[in-house]
Copies of this chain bind each other. A is one copy, B any other.
Amino acid sequence: MKSTCPEQNITLIKQANIYPDRGLLTRTERNERAGHKSGVIWLTGLSGAGKSTIAAGVEKELFSLGYQVSVLDGDSLRAGLNGDLDFTIKSREENLRRAAEVATLFADTGHIVIASFVSPHHKGRQFVKSILRENFYMVHVKADIEDCVNRDPKGLYKKAMDGKIANFTGVGQSYEEPQDADFTIDTSKNTVEASRDLLLNFTQNLFHL
């Protein structure tokens, strides 16, 4: 039996003869052990806005402070779990769906997940939000497109502007700025360290038990 998600191209199969079992441990027990709540901070923003840098910095600081924390990012997932996906609209949506499901698994296991994905469209972000049911926060890592193009840490804007990458977000494809972000960090106005500390404080406030 197949059904298509509303507004999504992904076909989910209504599974018969499946008996999901959450095991003997609860998320609450895991949170009590860790000493903090678990959940997901989802960073959205242009390539070059600083998502991965901020995510790695916050992960390291939180780990030093004793938190259970992990980072999920688009490029790392595409090197493994999502290695079968290309960059068509359908594959991009599937990329986000899987990322959200993996983030759920980590959050259920007691982790604070810093997820770093361009996630350029409102529809896709809403889809992610619908999968992550609790302790989910959308953070916009905002930067002027000119700054992103100048930084161009992976050389992708250059390639896109040379016509070597089609539909690159910010060049051939639009980025819809979120109107419903729980927090916004402007890396055109803040240093890397200041941006990291803003997210660190935001996260600690949200996840203390």
Contact = CB atoms under 8 A, between A and B. Distances in A.
B13 A86 contact: yes
A85 to B, nearest CB: 7
A21 B109 CA distance: 23
Contacts of A111: 109
A21 B73 contact: yes
Interface string A23-65: 1110001100100000000000000000010011101100100
Interface residues of A, number: 53
Contacts of A12: 83-84
| Count of this chain's copies in the oligomeric assembly | 2
A18 interface: yes
Interface of chain A, helix or strand or loop or mixed?
Answer: mixed
Given A12-B84, A13-B83, A98-B81, A24 B60 contact: yes
B11 A56 contact: no
A17 B94 CA distance: 19
A70 B98 CA distance: 19
13 contacts: A12-B84, A13-B86, A17-B154, A17-B159, A18-B79, A23-B60, A24-B57, A24-B59, A24-B60, A81-B102, A98-B98, A102-B102, A106-B106
Given A13-B85, A29-B63, A98-B98, 12 more contacts: A13-B83, A17-B154, A17-B159, A18-B75, A18-B79, A23-B56, A23-B60, A23-B71, A80-B104, A81-B105, A84-B94, A102-B105
